[in-house]
Amino acid sequence: MKQKIRILSLIVALSVLAVGTVGCTKVERKKSEYQMVNELIEQTTELTERQKEILVDAHFSQDFDSLDRKQKESIIKIEMLLTYLEDKYGEEFIYDKFYTNDEGTLVAHARNDRKSRTFQAWLHWDEDKEEYYYTDAYEQIVVASDKYEALFKQFMDENYPAVEYFVDIKVAEYDENNGEVSTENAGASVGIIIRDCFENKTDYENFLNNVGTWMHNDKYGGSLFCMVMNDTEYNEANYYNYTRLMREKKYIYTFRGDVGKDGNVRIRSRENEFNR
C-alpha cells in the first residue's frame, strides 16, 4: 500500500513540474489580421474626401464613429488599396466595388483609361512579417492589353490599311523584362469588330488566318473572335455596346476560333454564312 502511495505521489509531483515548466515558457504570439484591423480603426481619426464620397455613394454615414466594424474596416482598406495602386502606377484610380472576402478585394478602374476597364486588386496579410502586402491585375487587364493592341494596329496598318475596325483584346499571358510589361510573347483573346469590306467568305477566312498567323508568330497564340457588320450596324457599334448588338444579331457574320500551333485558325463556332 505504501508503495502505491509513493508512486502516486511521484506522478503528482511530475505533473506539477510539467505544468510549472509550461507556465514558465513564454509563447510568442503573432499579431493576427483581426488585431491589425483593430489598430487601424483606432488610428483613424479623420476620413479623406475620397472615403467620404464613397460612403455617400454607398448611402452610409460620413461619421466614422457611427459606422459598424465591418464598414470601418472596408473604408480603410479601400483607401489602402487605392493608395497602393496610385503609388505603384502613378495614375488616379476610381473605386467601383469592394468585397470583404479574405483580407479584401477591390474592383477599380483608372480615371484616364478610355475604355474604363475594371480590374481587381487584393490585400493580403503576412502573418510572419505581421504586415500587409498587395497584388493586382492592372498590368494584365490594361497595360499589357494596350501594348498588344498597339502591335495589332501596326499589323493592320501594314497589311489592311483600308479596313475599318475596332478591337477588344484581353491578354492572358505576358512576360516582364526588368519590371516592364512585354507582349513579345503574349497570349491573348482578340475580338475584331469589322465593317463589311471583303468580297466573299474566302477573303474573310484568308484575313482571319492571316491574323491567326500574326498572333502565332513569336507569341503564345490565343483565341480569335470576329464580327462582320454592315454600314448601319457598324456606325452604331462601339467598344461598350458591341456585345449587346451581338446578342441582338446585328451582324452579317460571326465566328470564334483558336489559333493553332501552325498559326491557322481552328473555327469552333459560326453564326450566319455568306451568300455572296
Count CB-CB contacts under 10 A for residue 13. 10
Q: How far apart are CA 106 and CA 121, in angstroms?
A: 5
Instruction: Give yes or no for residue 58 having a pLDDT over 60.
Output: yes
Chain-wide mean pLDDT for the chain?
86
Q: Encode pLDDT of 202-255 as tens digits.
A: 888 889 889 988 887 756 678 899 999 999 999 999 999 999 999 999 999 888
According to the model, what pLDDT value does residue 181 have?
82
Residues 6-18 have a mean pLDDT of 43
Instruction: Give yes or no for residue 20 having a pLDDT over 50.
Output: no
Instruction: Give yes or no for residue 8 having a pLDDT over 50.
Output: no
The rounded radius of gyration (Å) of the Cα atoms in the chain is 29
pTM above 0.75, yes or no: yes
According to the model, what pLDDT value does residue 265 have?
79
Count CB-CB contacts under 10 A for residue 218. 9
Asked if residue 28 lies in contact with residue 128, where contact means CB atoms within 8 angstroms, the answer is: no
Cβ-Cβ contacts under 8 Å for 205 (sequence gap 6 or more): none
225, β-bridge pairs:
191, 256
Query: Among 252, 251, 259, 254, which residue's Cα sits nearest to residue 269?
Result: 254
Q: How far apart are CA 232 and CA 129, in angstroms?
A: 60
Annotated domain spans of the chain: 33-136, 140-271
Q: How far apart are CA 164 and CA 114, in angstroms?
A: 19
CA triplet 88, 89, 92: central angle to 5 degrees? 110
Q: Encode pLDDT of 90-136 as tens digits.
A: 999 999 999 998 999 999 999 999 999 999 999 999 999 999 999 99
CA triplet 74, 77, 82: central angle to 5 degrees? 125
Cell of 81: 488599396
Instruction: Give yes or no for residue 57 having a pLDDT over 90.
Output: yes
Q: In the chain, what is the straight-line distance between the N-terminal and C-terminal CA atoms, in Å? A: 110
Count CB-CB contacts under 10 A for residue 30. 10
Confidence of residue 89 (pLDDT cuts 50, 70, 90): very high
Instruction: Give yes or no for residue 21 having a pLDDT over 50.
Output: no
